[in-house]
Amino acid sequence: MASEDSTRKPLPAPDADTTAFWRGLRHGKLLLQHCRRCRNVQYYQQATCRECGGDDLEHRPATGRGKVHSFSVVYRAPGPAFKADVPYAVLLVELAEGPRMISTLTGSDPAEVTFDMEVELAFDQVSDDITLPRFRKA
C-alpha cells in the first residue's frame, strides 16, 4: 500500500456516477442533475433521484449563482497540506437552483463572509483531471 503524503491535499476520485460531473467542471460548468419525473434538482451525482427514486435524470449546467446559507472560518489547518491556506472560509451555499453545496471561498478575506452573501462559482483547476468548484463574492 502506498503511504499517504500528508503534505499533499487529497483529491476526489471520479467514479461511474460522477465522471460527467468532473468532466463538466473541467469545461467550466457545474452540472446539476434534474429529475424529469418529479423535477427535483440535485447536487452530487448519483444514479437515482433522491426525491422519487426515478432514474430519468439529466445533467444541466448551474447558473453558478448562490448565497451563503451557513459558513465557518478555519484557523487551524486540518493537516500540513492546508497550512498555507488558513484562515479560510468553508461555505454552505444554497445554489439558485435549490441544492446546497459545501466548498471554500476564494478571492476575498474570510472575515468578510456574511450570511446570505451573494456568491458565484469559481473554477479551481488543481490537476489535469480535477477542477474544484469554489465560490467567490459576487
What is the binding site for Zn ion (CB under 5 A)? Answer: 35, 37-38, 40, 49, 51-52, 54
Instruction: Report in angstroms how near the CB of residue 50 gets to Zn ion at its nearest.
Output: 8
Instruction: Report in angstroms how near the CB of residue 55 gets to Zn ion at its nearest.
Output: 9
Comparison of 41 and 96: residue with beta carbon closer to Zn ion: 41
Instruction: Report in angstroms how near the CB of residue 49 gets to Zn ion at its nearest.
Output: 3
Comparison of 68 and 95: residue with beta carbon closer to Zn ion: 95
Q: Which three cell numbers stand for residue 57?
A: 435524470
Query: CA nearest 133: which of 94, 105, 109, 112?
Result: 105
Comparison of 26 and 37: residue with beta carbon closer to Zn ion: 37
- Count CA atoms closer than 13 A to 83's CA, side-chain side: 6
Q: DSSP letters of 48-116? A: S-TTT----EEEEE---EEEEEEEEEE-S-SSGGGGGG-SEEEEEEEETTS-EEEEEB-SS-GGG--TT
Instruction: Report in angstroms how near the CB of residue 117 gets to Zn ion at its nearest.
Output: 30
Comparison of 51 and 112: residue with beta carbon closer to Zn ion: 51
Query: CA nearest 11: which of 101, 126, 121?
Result: 126
Instruction: Report in angstroms how near the CB of residue 37 gets to Zn ion at its nearest.
Output: 5
Comparison of 40 and 106: residue with beta carbon closer to Zn ion: 40
Cα torsion at 10, 13, 17, 23 (round to 10°)? 100
